[in-house]
Every structure is written in structure tokens, then in C-alpha cells.
Amino acid sequence: MQYWISMEIYTVFLLVTTLLSILLVHLFFSTNSRSLRNLPPGPKGWPILGNLPQLGDKPHQTLAALAKIYGPLFHLRFGIEHVVVAASSSVAAQFLKTFDTNFSNRPPNSGAEHVAYNYQDLVFAPYGSRWRMLRKLCFIHLFSNKAMDTCRRVREEEVSLLVCRLKDAGGKMVRLGEEVNVCVTDALARAIMGMRVFGEKRKGAEELKEMILELMKLAGVFNIGDFVPGIGWLDIQGVVGKMKNLHKRYDIFLNNIIAEHERSQKDDGDLLSVMIGLKKNKEDLTGEGETVTDIDIKALLLNLFSAGTDTTTSTLEWALAELIRHPDILEHLQQEIDGVVGRDRLVSDTDLPNLPFLHAVIKEVFRLHPSTPLSLPRVALESCEVQGYHIPKNTTLLVNVWAISRDPTVWTDPLEFRPSRFLPGGDHANSDVKGNDFDVIPFGAGRRICAGMSLGLKMVQFLTATLAHSFDWKLPDDHLPENLNMEEAFGLTLQRAEPFAAHPVPRLLPSAYL
């Protein structure tokens, strides 16, 4: 009994000590903040926690609303950390173009530490030689024009299998996201390691899908322990515990993939074979002393499977939902594809350059529904001045991609789905989504732009064209297209609050589906 009383006293002592430390840090921070002149404007925060409690369950929308009050560049405080939010294209351009070098790193966060192999992955690795090595590997073997041409047959085969599954549904209701996820994951897995994940009923395939969804949810949480010193060990939100458990599951899954690949002694030039070879030979890929390790391989696979599947799946759901809500646009798109492809075969990857209206549709989907509504955070290496405001060293930068692409000062009728704005004669005819035009940056911009942008864009275009061309999409009898639920659910990626489901009705000649 005396032992338990002692433990209780010790626990209370720790809590009291922690709280006192937090209060002292807060007092110091408040005093120090007053000495920082000319910060951007922003809302007053809570004691200790700052503005964290004000973010709500959809931070991208909350921050967009704050921008209307405080302007396109405003200041927040997350615990003791300075945070600035860029909510217009001109402000984003200054951070991601003019000061790109200064904001080339990520701030510390529990997700990178506990899930992404302690910052060993491509997404969160510090900008430097290791980051360049990982990015070079991905570019050469997955994202270059040569690599994507090599994998064209793989993409076409997996999309064809998707079409057959949908046709075999017999007009019954299907959850599009689930079907597209299988297609995208298998296409990516074949490119990465030369074999399917779902298609061959591999053990753990369903678990991978669950892990990816859990990761995207956890990664979208602002963990209080990342911003308030001394309380991380409490794990108030339970986020760190979930991350550690998720990491263990991922690690087992990835270890099994690597071990099986090594046992097979298979070397088809896929990315995993290349990385295993580099690891065995201890080859310096960049000439900067960086060699590939098992951790590098697992961390990169984690990035590719997580970011490369969920973003495409969610974007396809938004695309089909918008097309159903706008039958005139769907009909226009189908007519364009029919004119190029006909109705006796499926869309080919090589048809895409000849479909300008398709490209306009995809740009409009990315504008209204960017897969990552808040850019992954960056951190200031040194103090700088943006639009006349002082940005202190170590300030976290958030770019509100969602708000920028709905800015009424830039976009006419910004909430309307209107692909024609990107066609010749439209007010954004020359805009692209590849990081050159800061009015619409779904993949980010600058040095830390999404490494998989080229493949992600290609898959979204190809899948949208194929699904629009191959099927008419019908909602249940009691659902009107204009009443389709378009509410958002926030995570790291922009998910639909309600998964998209509809009846696929074949519209091509029977021979096209063989």
C-alpha cells in the first residue's frame, strides 16, 4: 500500500513540475514575443496552447476564414512555436520561390519521428545529401519520362482490370474509392517491386489499406506535444501511442516485402531491386558519401505506398462526384473522348495529350479539391522579411492551398466547378498545376514540391478519362445529383466525409471490355 501511495505522490509531483515548467516557458515566450516587432497580424491565442484549440476539425477551412479577417499573411502561436500562414498566391510565391532555400526543411514533428523512421524518409528528411539521394532514386526509376513510358503497359493493364471489375458489378452500387485504391496500389506496387499487392491476394494487402488510412488521419492531427515543451510524455491526445503502434505494423509489413524480394533473387530493374543492389554494393549514388540502408528502403516504400495511393484515390472520388453533379460537363468530356478514342476500345495512356477538355477538368478538380489542403509544414532556417513583416528564425510555415485556389480576388465564381476557365479564352487558360503558377498549387512548389507529381497527375488523368468514357454513372433513385454530399473530412489528404458510391453503367461496345 505504501508503495502505491509513493507512486501516486511521484506522479502528482511530475505533473505539478511539468505544469510549472510550462507556465515559466509561457511567461518567457510571452515576454520574448513582445520584443519581436512587426510580426504579421493574427488572433490572440489561449494561455500555453496558443491558437491550437481554435483550429477545429477542418483546419484548412478555419485558416481560410481567419485570412478574411487578418489578411493573406497572418501569425499564429502553436504552444511556444511561431506559425505563419500563407493564404494567397502572391504570399505563397514569396515563401516558396523568393525564400524557397530558407524554407527548405520541415519542422520537428511526432509523425516523422515515430512513423517515418525518425526523419529518414523522403518527405521529412532534412534538405541535403540524403534527401537528394532518395529523390534521385525515385525520379530515375519511377517519375522520369523514361520510367513512366516503361510502366505504361502496367498502368493500362491495371486500369483495364478495374474497368472489368466495375462492368462485372452488373450495374450494382460500387464504392469507387475502394475499387480505385486496388487499381492504384497494384499499379504502383508493380512499378516499385514488380508484383501486385491486392491482385495476387497477397497476405497483408487489406492491412496495408487500413494502415494508409490511419496514417493519413494521424498525420492530419496537430499534436499538442509537438508545440508545448514538457508534456509530450503525457500524450494527451493519444496520438503518439497510435503512431508507435502503426509504425510497428508498417515495419513488419515492409520487412516481409523486402525479405521476400531478396529470397526471390528477382531483378527486373524495378525500384526495390535497384535499392537492394545499391545496399549490398554500398554504392554512393550521389557522390556525397550517402549509401542506401534497410531503413532508407523501408522509409521510401512507406512514402510511396502512403502518398502515392491515398491522394489519387481521394482525387478520383472528387472528380467523379463533380462530373455527376454537372451532367453537361460529363457529356462534353465523353464526347471529346469518343471523338479521339471511339467506342470500340478503352482509353490508352497515349490518348491523353489529345484531350484538352479532360486536362481542364482535372485542373478544376485539383483547384476545388486539392489532395493536400494544407501544405506539409516548412520551417525558417533564418529570419526574413515577407511583405514588410518580420518572420523569426524557426517559424513554421503553412501554405493554405485550399484557400488560395478559392480566392475570390483571383478566381471568378470560385466555388463553381467550371473547367472552361482553363480552356483557350478562359481567364486561366495558361495556368498549370505543376508548381509554376501559384494560383493553383495542389502539389506544392519549390524544392519540396511533391516528388511524385508527374505520376500522380498522369494516374488521375488516365483514370478519370477511362471511368468517364467507359461508364455512365447513376445515383440511387432517391438521390438527385445536385444534392450529392460534398462535405469534406480533414486528414493529411482531403477526404470526402461520405465515400462516393454510384452505379456504373457500361456505355461502350461489348468488344471494348474484353
pLDDT tens string 341-374:
999 999 999 999 999 999 999 999 999 999 999 9
Say how many C-beta atoms besides its own lie within 10 A of residue 105's C-beta: 19
Q: What is the pLDDT of residues 155-194, one digit of tens each?
A: 999 999 999 999 998 778 999 999 999 999 999 999 999 8
Q: What is the pLDDT of residue 442?
A: 96
Q: Are 296 and 134 in contact (CB under 8 A)?
A: yes
Instruction: Tell me if 69 is assigned to some domain.
Output: yes
Task: Note the pLDDT of residue 2.
Answer: 35
pLDDT tens digits for 226-271? Answer: 999 988 889 999 999 999 999 999 999 999 989 988 888 776 778 9
CA gap 216, 230 in Å, rounded: 26
**DSSP result, 287-349:** SSS----HHHHHHHHHHHHHHHHHHHHHHHHHHHHHHHH-HHHHHHHHHHHHHHH-SSS---G
26 within domain boundaries: no
Q: Tell me whether strands 81-86 and 396-399 are parallel, antiparallel or unpaired.
A: parallel
pLDDT at 47 exceeding the cut of 60 = yes
**pLDDT for the residue 176:** 94
| 13 pLDDT above the threshold of 70 | no
8 domain-assigned: no
* Residue 506 forms part of a structural domain: yes
pLDDT level of residue 23 (50, 70, 90 thresholds): low
Answer yes or no: is 450 a known binding residue: yes
Q: Given this model, what pLDDT does residue 491 score? A: 74
Instruction: Tell me the average pLDDT of the chain.
Output: 90
Question: Residue type at 329?
Answer: I
Average pLDDT over residues 24-51: 73
Contact call for residues 221 and 492 (beta carbons, < 8 A): no
Residue 82 lies in a domain: yes
Compute how many other C-beta atoms are within 10 angstroms of the C-beta atom of residue 313.
27
What is the mean predicted confidence (pLDDT) over 269-274?
Answer: 90
| pLDDT tens digit sequence for 136-151 | 999 999 999 999 999 9
What is the pLDDT at residue 264?
A: 80
Give a yes or no: residue 31 inside a domain: no
* Predicted confidence (pLDDT) at residue 473 exceeds the cutoff of 70: yes
Q: What is the dihedral of CA 376, 382, 387, 388, to 10 degrees?
A: 150
CB count within 10 Å of CB 178 equals: 12
Q: If phi over 0 gives left and psi between -120 and 50 gives alpha, with beta otherwise, what is residue 282?
A: left
Tell me, what amino acid is at 449? I
The pTM is what? 0.91
pLDDT of the residue at 3: 32
Helical residues (DSSP H) of 391-471, grouped into ranges:
401-404, 453-470
pLDDT of res. 200: 55
List strands edge to edge, sheet with 73-78.
73-78, 81-86, 396-399, 378-379
Query: What does the pLDDT read at residue 18?
Result: 52
Give residue 59's pLDDT band: very low, low, confident or very high (50, 70, 90): very high
**Does residue 55 lie in a domain region?**
yes
How many CA atoms lie less than 13 Å away from 260 in the CB half-sphere?
12
With respect to residue 409, please indicate whether it lies within any of the assigned structural domains.
yes
pLDDT attached to residue 288: 82
**% of the chain at pLDDT higher than 70:** 92
Q: Percent of the chain, pLDDT > 90?
A: 77
CA-closest candidate to residue 103, choices 466, 488, 452, 448:
448
CATH classification of the domain holding 225: 1.10.630.10
Element (H, E) at 65: helix 59-70
Lowest mean pLDDT among 284-293, 313-322, 433-442: 284-293
| pLDDT per residue as tens digits for the range 432-469 | 999 999 999 999 999 999 999 999 999 999 999 999 99
Total structural domains in the chain? 1
| Structural domain boundaries, residue 142 | 36-513
Q: Coil, helix or strand for 445? A: coil
Whether the pLDDT of residue 22 is over 80: the answer is no
The set of cell numbers assigned to 213 is: 488510412
